[in-house]
Structure 1
Amino acid sequence: MTTSIIGFDSAWTDQVKAPGAVSIIRVVEGRPTEFVPPRLASFGQALTIIEAERRQFDRCFVALDQPTIVPNATGSRPVDKVAGSLISWVGGGVQPANRSKKGMFDDDAPVWAFKNALGATEDPEGARDAESGVFIAEVFPALALPSLAAEFCGRLMVPRYNPGRRKTFRIEHWSAVLKCVGAAGEAYGVIGLLHWCETHRLIETPTKSDQDLLDGVLCALIGYIWLFQPRDQSVMIGDLEAGYMIGPAIEEARRRLQTAAEARGVRHG
């Protein structure tokens, strides 16, 4: 069986000057065979890339860094609150998703047209066992980092690696995230991922687009872990009605997410 895992950091809105990024991990019979370096892409360009992949692979899995189910008119989804419990502990924040956000989640937001055109099945658990088909799932790179590297899992230990926020950006954090992602790529046998990370670390003055490329890689890596690593190494928070996220979750990060989910009556596992 062949699988193409497409990581897509959509950037949430479809702005020509601020596109998202797509990266791909290709897998044959459970073994990674090719890492396709990230490239900047709009929603339309991402669709074109995915269409090309689905013609060549039995199963395609789109790991999208954007809420895919947003039924609430205002406020935030239950899953946002659960994710926020961990993210706030490490020192970050979660942007609440609701339908009042124009250009992001209102009826005319590009994410809905993207999903409709893609025609993918939204069933993360089913995707793990499927031998064919196109699937989509919501992922969140910031939620994955505390489980990918112990140095990011501690009180106020969130890496400040967004170059778009110059006041808080730290180049050593940028380097640490790339080192973490490269090490994960090596551990899982994703050939070429470490080299890309080492090359990306050489950028002296990273831009927001450089971070989008990195997050696209993280999305693909999260998708790979979900599909091919033991299920107890990942978690699905929430559900297909109120919204959800999937991603790696181990040790302290997993415990905090489980505690928060149980306190709020949010499904997890």
Structure 2
Amino acid sequence: MLPAAEWRPLADAHAARVDAFVEPHLARRSEQVTHPVHDFLFTYYSQRPAQLRRWHPGFGVALEDAPDHAGLKGYGADPVTVTDAYVLAQRPLLTQLHTLLSATAGRAPQFGCFGLHEWAMVHRAAEYGTRHDWPLRLGPEGTDAVVESHRIGCSHFDAFRFFTPSARGLNTLQPGRDDRPAFEQPGCLHAGMDLYKHAFRLSPMISSDLVADCFELARDIRVLDMRAAPYDLADLGLEPVRIETAEGKAAYVEAQRGFAERGAPLRARLLEECERLLLAQNS
């Protein structure tokens, strides 16, 4: 049981931590201004800013004097804590995530994709259009030439599903919606960003500190993802990683390795939480 004098400062600190990213997003939204890089974590993923700001201690911790938490999904009112019944109801999710995270962690990271998934999403842009309203750095024809002259090996379904029809057959892998454990690998930038998705899906059963750690990783990965993309984002102050060159490939791989190293302990912590919550149902 955490007294209010202990948990409220923790909740305030969590909100302040994520507000550095949440508040600029909300300001842009109120002005109807979009950002192709920083809005992604709020538009692609389903967790709303208010949900990200809300602090949870995780299953097994009760809160004193917390009427607002008592009314939240997953909580009971006496005591104010995530209930055993809620954890039991989440067993299918816990099992699914444990399977995916275990398979991903057990696979050797691959660093040869060079971020070409974003390029494949705009292959033949003259015919299919682009996903963001920003010019292509090499123009449509130059972008197509990069896609067609490289080996594409995207292992992540949620990136692959946005390939243009002309690019889908160029991928050496054909990941599907239901076979993610057979394909996902820890070097993939999107697998690293998705640690945030897995974390917030486990809320409120896990601590919000872990969710925020995964959010910050996803935020930093997204910047690399778009710096290596075919768009010209110079007006946003983003220097491109020119993956069409040998120097750009080397820079991309170095950053990709760093993110894989940052993601490994977060994936391990999520796995531990899944195992803890699954075991709690049997105790």
Q: Which has the larger radius of gyration?
A: 2
TM range (shorter): under 0.3
Q: TM-score, normalised by structure 1?
A: 0.26
Flag the structure with more relative contact order, 1 or 2, with Cα contacts below 8 A and sequence separation at least 6.
Answer: 1
**If each structure's helix is expressed as a fraction of its own residues, which one has the higher value?**
2
